[in-house]
A and B are shown apart, each in its own frame.
Chain A
Amino acid sequence: MGDLVYFSSVSDNTHRFVQRLHLGDLGIGVHRIPLRPADGFLTVEEPYVLVVPTYGGGNEGGAVPRQVVKFLNDPHNRSLIRGVIAAGNTNFGEAYCIAGDIISAKCAVPYLYAFELLGTAEDVTRVRDGLGRFWQRQSRIPA
């Protein structure tokens, strides 16, 4: 089994989604990217799927939270990413969940799932089941 790494702002929306997945039961380790630079730096040791919120789209850049960019700028962290899941809001139109597109393209990993805000009960079930299957398949791929 691989791990799950996520970022959540002080709104804790993504944090609550990840909690509802109860990934510990599946043997998936969960790590949170620190909120601010002063809170330290996360270095991972296992392959992981990244869950990231999209910062409200529009005219500006900044769709991927700065702390996530810093985390992925680290070549070691980046080498272990295997997929990305993004949160967002369809109100942002073309920028809906665009953080997933950006990270998937930059890191050449599959864009696994997109959900809105806190995620619905269906989103939780699909991501939980999906992650279990995803890591089982990954473990059958020869190194």
Chain B
Amino acid sequence: MTPTGKLKLIDRVSAINWNRLQDDKDLEVWDRLVGNFWLPEKVPVSNDIPSWNTLTPEEKTLTMRVFTGLTLLDTIQGTVGAVSLIPDAITPHEEAVYTNIAFMESVHAKSYSSIFSTLCSTQDIDEAFRWSEENENLQRKAEIVMKYYKGDSPLQRKVASTLLESFLFYSGFYLPMYWSSRAKLTNTADLIRLIIRDEAVHGYYIGYKFQKGLEKLTPEERDDLKAYTFELLFELYDNEVQYTADLYDSVGLTEDVKKFLRYNANKALMNLGYEALFPKDETDVNPAILSALSPNADENHDFFSGSGSSYVIGKAVSTQDDDWDF
């Protein structure tokens, strides 16, 4: 046990040698994260001002509250969550990937501020932050996750972190996708899509490291962690449903958001190596939302369910790869 209040640091540091990898995945993910690097300044959010002015006061309040909630989560992940994973790293390269993840979470948190400062008045922003500090369900969500980050189990920390990256953000991410599907706040949605893309790599990587950790445990210990994961997911899900109602009841979107939550809860579990929990008929996300997220996520790629008389050949895609010989 680390004495309370004392910073937990590794006690011996070796210079990191990227030419001697113990796990190829570290370099692969590092390269991917670096290749995906972005900053909010490159997205012209100010082009959304005319669109913002078409929203009703309730819609504006909802949008600001959603973004303060997302800011809180990214702040936790940048300053506590991803940082808490560093001392647990097995390879020096894994440590380096976590520092990249932590930094990007801080970029995300700052991005919401740049959206706010572009679209809203200082007074409105302050009111939204006050709401987020007083909203019980948002605060409970933060508390639950923080409890595990401060705990003693490296693998439980990875579970909490993956659930945050791959599940807890999505009650918030729903809204910019909804606006985008109605051709509103489209530049803001472009920025959020960059965050969504990053979270996918983070959730994948932390979930992968969780599974590598599981390999070293006894079957009983693995069963315990699986039970723990599902309990934590249920606890967070129940809270998330209430938080979703707090936000979206006023605009009548709560049920639609809940489908999106369950769809993403399944993906969070899969990142941890577990099978999806919620059945298909509870995760049938509104096609407009799915298409705002990914224009390719339609039914075109299910040749099997069709009559078989016709099929889709993939559209020509230009790649920068030069390793193809044909």
Contact = CB atoms under 8 A, between A and B. Distances in A.
Given A97-B296, A98-B296, A108-B313, A127 B32 contact: no
| Most B C-beta atoms less than 10 A away, residue of A9, A90, A91, A133 | A91
B306 to A, nearest CB: 10
A19 interface: no
Contacts of A64: 319, 321
A65 B200 CA distance: 18
Interface stretch (B21-29, B90-98, B151-159, B219-227): B21-29
B267 A101 contact: no
Interface stretch (B2-10, B56-64, B231-239, B297-305): B297-305
B301 A97 contact: yes
Interface string B274-306: 011000100000000010011111001111110
B20 to A, nearest CB: 15
B228 interface: no
B18 interface: no
B303 A59 contact: no
Contacts of A109: 313
Contact of B314 (A57, A111, A122, A137): A111
A61 interface: yes
A84 B303 CA distance: 11
A134 B305 CA distance: 11
Interface stretch (B103-111, B141-149, B191-199, B248-256): B191-199
A112 interface: yes
B41 interface: no
A126 interface: yes
A105 B313 contact: yes
A130 interface: yes
A114 B293 CA distance: 16
B155 to A, nearest CB: 17
A64 B321 CA distance: 9
Interface in A72-107: 72-73, 75, 78, 83-84, 86, 89-94, 96-98, 100-106
Contacts of B321: 61-62, 64, 69
| Most B C-beta atoms less than 10 A away, residue of A11, A64, A106 | A11
Contacts of B290: 90
A102 B314 contact: yes
Interface of A: 9-11, 13, 16, 36, 55-64, 66, 69-70, 72-73, 75, 78, 83-84, 86, 89-94, 96-98, 100-106, 108-114, 116-118, 120-122, 126-127, 129-131, 133-134, 137
6 contacts: A56-B32, A61-B320, A90-B297, A91-B199, A100-B301, A117-B267
The 3 residue pairs across chains A and B that have the minimum distance between CB atoms: A130-B304, A104-B314, A101-B314
Interface of B: 23-25, 28, 31-32, 35-36, 193, 196-197, 199-201, 204, 208, 211, 266-267, 270-271, 273, 275-276, 280, 290, 293-297, 300-305, 308, 311-317, 319-321, 323-326
